[in-house]
Amino acid sequence: MKILNVYRSEPDDTVKKLVEIVTRDREVDSFNLMDPNPDYDLLVDKIFDADQTICWW
């Protein structure tokens, strides 16, 4: 199971804790949507490659 974590803001302690538990013993990738010019092409590739995408606040 591969999880993609997408971040819209800097993860706080609650999000970090949830990510830690959800991704335990699983393959994990991430994408930063905070960038002023996100590479949407890369993001879509990552979404297609993952089994589940979680877009955190």
Partner 1 sequence: MEYKKVTFMYRNKDYAVDGIRSALGLAVENMYSYGVVMDTEIEQLDEHNQESIEMLRDMEGEIYSTVPANVDKNGFEAITIEELGEKLRDMSIIIPYGLK
Partner 2 sequence: MAKSLGIFVTNPDNFAHVMGITKAAKAKGSKVKVFFTWTATHNAKDPAFPELCELADDVSICVDSYKKQGYAVDDVPKGLSPKEMATQAQHGIIIEDYDCYISL
Q: Cα–chain-centroid distance for residue 20?
A: 12
Is residue 40 near partner 2 by the rule CB under 8 A? yes
Q: Which does 40 bind (CB under 5 to 8 A by kind): partner 1, partner 2, none?
A: partner 2
* DSSP secondary structure string for all residues of 1-57: -EEEEEESS---HHHHHHHHHHTTTSEEEEEETTSSS--HHHHHHHHHH-SEEEEE-
Question: Which stretch, 11-19, 30-38, 39-47, contacts partner 1 (CB under 8 A)?
Answer: 11-19
Is residue 29 near partner 1 by the rule CB under 8 A? no
Question: Which stretch, 18-26, 27-35, 37-45, contacts partner 1 (CB under 8 A)?
Answer: 18-26
